Structure 1
């Protein structure tokens, strides 16, 4: 009697958890990497690409377009400039993909989000159901005082975060 009651309750527990989304159980399936054209972000993309290849994961390359309302109000073509940066990043990624085709095959997607880098990466990781986030270390001295995007992502504690120097 006890054996059958145990199997019923185990079945109910298993059935109850079968419909929940669970991150990171078999290694990352979606890896988000933030790129902005800086050397450290491109190193992060290379690192994340290798990780995605080894894990057979999807590499989601994310560029967060800054929103500069003050610049736009003064007539500066901010949207055009950030669109050009995004197009240039896609071209660099495609070129790198073509150079390594047949040697290193990685499934990847490019996404752009608007906002500040931290909020954009959080939204990207949430929307894409990321299992891991990879970013480059900040190259700006002021971030030691205010806090870099990487530190804020780590403190959020929602995904494993790798910071590439």
Structure 2
């Protein structure tokens, strides 16, 4: 797992009755269009609420990698590195543009399990994810659906 900070330092503001919103917003990000929209939505919400934004990218290994590790592992690792580099650029730009603190976490494993673990570890008040663009979600359920069913925090699913 790697953790990187971008933008100004974040501090919890003073409590105001009726106006305190989420203090920590966690957004699940990857290289899809719905994820980019979810990240932008979470950044805007974090800016307006004075919240800390934690963006989490989960590197989920393919089932095929275990079958032919020498052929696919190198290519998959290179793809992951490309996605992480792209995310670093987008996150740094977002932090600068919105003048907010953004933490980028890169984790490895199952997307649902790692997002849930990150939200618990960071004591997230809200989880924001993009709607699934995968046809396979009908068989096992999307990450967003599973997060909603976990019922641990409010979950916003951005189309």
Instruction: Report TM bin, short chain.
Output: 0.7 to 0.9
Structure 1 alignment gaps of length 5 or more: 1-24
Structure 2 alignment gaps of length 5 or more: 1-18
Query: Is 1:66 aligned to residue 64 of structure 2?
Result: no
Tell me how far 1:138 sits from its aligned partner: 0.5
Instruction: State the distance in 1 between where 2:26 and 2:139 align.
Output: 26
Tell me how far 1:148 sits from its aligned partner: 0.6
Query: Is 1:115 aligned to residue 109 of structure 2?
Result: yes
- The residue that corresponds to 1:86 in the other structure is 84
Tell me how far 1:156 sits from its aligned partner: 0.1
Q: Is the 8 A contact 1:66 1:82 kept in 2?
A: no
Instruction: State the distance in 2 between where 1:46 and 1:162 align.
Output: 13
- Note the alpha carbon deviations across 1:115-159, whole angstroms, 9 max, x for none: 111111011111111111000000112313421100100000001
CA RMSD of aligned residues (A): 1.8
Counterparts in 2 of 1:131 and 1:35: CA distance versus 1, 3 Å: same
Counterparts in 2 of 1:61 and 1:161: CA distance versus 1, 3 Å: same
Tell me how far 1:79 sits from its aligned partner: 2.7
User: Which of structures 1 and 2 has the bigger CA Rg?
Assistant: 1
Give the total of aligned pairs: 137
- The residue that corresponds to 1:7 in the other structure is none
Higher relative contact order (CA 8 A, sep 6+): 2
Structure 1 segment 2-151 matched on structure 2, within 5 A = 26-68=20-62, 70-71=64-65, 74=68, 75=70, 76=72, 77=74, 78-98=76-96, 100=97, 104-151=98-145
- Note the alpha carbon deviations across 1:27-79, whole angstroms, 9 max, x for none: 21110000111000000000000110111011001100112364156212133
| TM-score normalized by the length of structure 1 | 0.76
Q: Please point out which of 131, 155, 159 is paired with 1:161.
A: 155
